[in-house]
Amino acid sequence: KKTADEIMASLEQRRFLPYYQPQFCARTLDVAGVETLARWDHPERGILAPAAFLPIAEDINAVGAIDRQILERALFDLAAWDMQGVVVPKLSVNVSSRRLQDPDLCASLRALPLQAGRLSFELLESIFLDDCDPKILESLAEIRKLGIDIEVDDFGTGHASIVSLMKLLPRRLKIDRQLVKPIVRSQAQRRLVGTIIEIGRSLDITVTAEGVETAAHVRLLREMGCDLLQGFALARPMPALEIVDFVHSER
């Protein structure tokens, strides 16, 4: 109850902001983009991770408003990086299924300074059911028309099937870290991840591995031909200002 009130007050004060975790081209190890990760700048407790507020925000139907605040701030940061010559080719943003069903989503997106091809929406696999809600399909089509990529998040843990991949043809998919983590010790897990990478290649879908935690993961995933890498071995989530230094310090 107290947290719910604090969330509403913080929305008003625009205290929800993005942290950014770099994603790397597996071939060159250049920064290929960043994923925005929500943080709550709590007036007393400081910066809080989503676990501390997303469940309660869901209960009070505030996730959409938080997502919107994060996206607006992220587009502002992206424009600032562009002006400073900080190369961040792409911005991946988490979008909740609730927000995707919001009838005002596309109108509110059109009001933002979007650059076609720079933005990707990470959607949870649960959206990609074989019998996808027609409202969601319509929303996805409109989002595509705005030049925003559709990306399947946490692939391998939810409901996305090959059928739905064929039907929705997302531009990108992210292999869930639960599948990526064990590849170093298990040949079977390695083959599984290799197969997902092959599926991506055959459908012309860009594949990102998340949970890339060690140098061995980096080496294996590069050998396997994964497109993009994201994880603690390469970079942690960081505030916008640190992204400037991080990208500048890259060779």
Contact residues for ligand G (CB under 6 A)?
A: 21, 36-38, 49-51, 54, 63, 67, 70, 94, 96, 153-154, 177, 210-213, 231-232, 237
Residue 11 beta carbon to Mn ion: minimum distance, rounded to whole angstroms: 24
- Smaller CB separation from ligand G, 83 or 235: 235
Say which residue the tokens 């843990």 belong to: 157
CB 239 within 8 A of CB 43: no
- Smaller CB separation from ligand G, 15 or 177: 177
Long-range contacts of residues 54-60, Cβ cutoff 8 Å, at least 24 apart: 56/3, 56/4, 56/7, 57/7, 58/98, 59/4, 60/4, 60/7, 60/8
Site string for Mn ion, 105-144 (x = CB under 5 A): ----------------------------------------
Stretch that binds Mn ion, among 53-61, 88-96, 146-154, 156-164 (CB under 5 A): 146-154
Considering only residues 105, 154, 205, 208, which one is a binding residue for Mn ion as defined by CB under 5 A? 154
CA distance 11 to 5: 10
Determine the number of helices (DSSP H) and then strands (DSSP E) in the chain.
11, 9
CB 23 within 8 A of CB 34: yes
Stretch that binds Mn ion, among 25-33, 148-156, 184-192, 201-209 (CB under 5 A): 148-156
141, containing H or E segment:
helix 134-145
Residue type, 55: P
Stretch that binds Mn ion, among 25-33, 45-53, 86-94, 153-161 (CB under 5 A): 153-161
- 125 in contact with Na ion (CB under 5 A): no
- 67 in contact with Mn ion (CB under 5 A): no
Question: Of Na ion, Mn ion, ligand G, none, which one sits near residue 70, judging by CB under 5 to 8 A according to partner kind?
Answer: ligand G
CA distance 231 to 227: 14
Binding-site ranges for Na ion (CB under 5 A): 94, 122, 153
Given the rule CB under 5 A, which residues bind Mn ion? 153-154
